[in-house]
Amino acid sequence: MSEIFVVGGGCVPVGKYPLGSGRELARRAGEAALRDVGATFRDVDAMYAGVAMPTSPQAVLAAKDLGLTGLTVIQVINASASGLAAVHEAMNAILAGRAEVVLVSSWDVPTTKEDPIKSMGFLPPPALFGMWAQRRMHEVGTKPEHFAMVAAKNWNNARAIPHAARRADHVVTPEEVLAAPMVAAPMTAMMCTPWVYGAAAIVLASREGLKRLPGARWPLSRIDTSEARSEIYSGPDHVIESQVVGPPEISQRTVAAALDGAGYGPKDVDVVQVHDAFAIEELVYAELFGYSQPGETERLIEQGAFGPGSKERFGLPEFSTDGGLIGRGHPGGPTGVFQHIETLRRFREHGDRVGLCQLLGAGSTCIAQVATRVDR
Partner 1 sequence: MTDGKPFRKDPLRLIGSRDAQTGQVYFPPRPLAVDGSLRATEEIELSPQGTLYSWTRFAGAFYGQIDLPEGVRIQCIIEDEAPEIGAAYKVVTVTEPSGDETWRFARV
Number of H helices, E strands in the chain: 13, 12
Q: How far apart are CA 367 and CA 330, in angstroms?
A: 16
| Per-residue mark of binding to partner 1, 147-186 (x: CB under 8 A) | -----------------------------------xxxx-
Is residue 113 a contact residue for partner 1 (CB under 8 A)?
no
Q: Is 22 in the site for partner 1 (CB under 8 A)?
A: no
Site for partner 1 in 56-75 (CB under 8 A): none
The helix/strand/coil state of 152 is: helix
**Nearest to residue 339, comparing CAs of 191, 198, 134, 241?**
198
E strand map for 29-130: 46-51, 72-76, 101-108
Asked if 111 interacts with partner 1 (CB under 8 A), we say no
Output 155 or 278, the one with its CB closest to partner 1: 278
Task: Give all strands of the β-sheet with 365-374 in edge-to-edge order.
Answer: 72-76, 46-51, 101-108, 197-205, 5-15, 220-230, 365-374, 354-361, 271-273, 318-319
Binds partner 1 (CB under 8 A): choice among 41, 132, 264, 314: 132
Residue 117 lies near partner 1 (rule: CB under 8 A) = no
User: For partner 1, how many residues bind (rule: CB under 8 A)?
Assistant: 28
Of positions 230, 242, 293, 303, contacts partner 1 by CB under 8 A: 242
CB 105 within 8 A of CB 246: no
Question: Of all residues in the chain, what percent are helix, strand and coil, respectively (each to 5)?
Answer: 40, 20, 40
Stretch that binds partner 1, among 15-23, 47-55, 56-64, 121-129 (CB under 8 A): 121-129
Report strand pairing: 354-361 vs 271-273: parallel
**Which residue, among 290, 312, 280, has the nearest Cα to 149 in the 3D structure?**
280
Distance CA 91, CA 228 (A): 12
β 187-188/365-374 pair status? unpaired
Whichever of 183 and 357 has its CB closer to partner 1, that residue is 183
We find the least distance from the C-beta atom of residue 249 to partner 1, in angstroms, to be: 15
CB of 189 to partner 1, least distance (A): 12
Minimum CB distance to partner 1 smaller for 109 or for 187: 187
At its nearest, how many Å lie between partner 1 and the CB of residue 230? 12
- Which lies closer to partner 1 via its Cβ, residue 92 or residue 243? 243
231 vs 352, beta carbon nearer partner 1: 231
Interface with partner 1 includes 124 (CB under 8 A)?
yes
CA distances from 25 to 14, 192, 305, 326 (A): 10, 24, 36, 21
Kindly indicate which of the ranges 230-238, 248-256, 320-328, 349-357 contains the residues binding partner 1, using the contact rule CB under 8 A.
Answer: 230-238
Q: What do you get for the CA distance between the two ends of the chain, in Å?
A: 17
Taking CB under 8 A as the criterion, the residue among 30, 50, 54, 126 binding partner 1 is: 126
Task: Decide if residue 243 touches partner 1 (CB under 8 A).
Answer: yes
CA dist., res. 346 & res. 340, Å (int):
10
Q: β-strand 197-205 against 101-108: which pairing, if any?
A: antiparallel
131 lines the binding site for partner 1 (CB under 8 A): yes
Q: Counting contacts by CB under 8 A, is residue 135 touching partner 1?
A: yes
**Cα–Cα distance measured from residue 255 to residue 259, given in angstroms and rounded to the nearest whole number:** 6
Smallest gap from residue 247 Cβ to partner 1 (A): 10
Stretch that binds partner 1, among 82-90, 239-247, 293-301, 311-319 (CB under 8 A): 239-247
* Residue with smaller CB distance to partner 1, 165 or 183: 183
CB of 129 to partner 1, least distance (A): 8
Applying CB under 8 A, among 121, 312, 349, 376 the residue interacting with partner 1 is 121
CA–CA separation, 177 vs 187, rounded Å?
A: 9
DSSP 181: P
Footprint of partner 1 on this chain (CB under 8 A)?
121-124, 126-127, 130-135, 138, 182-185, 187, 233, 235-243
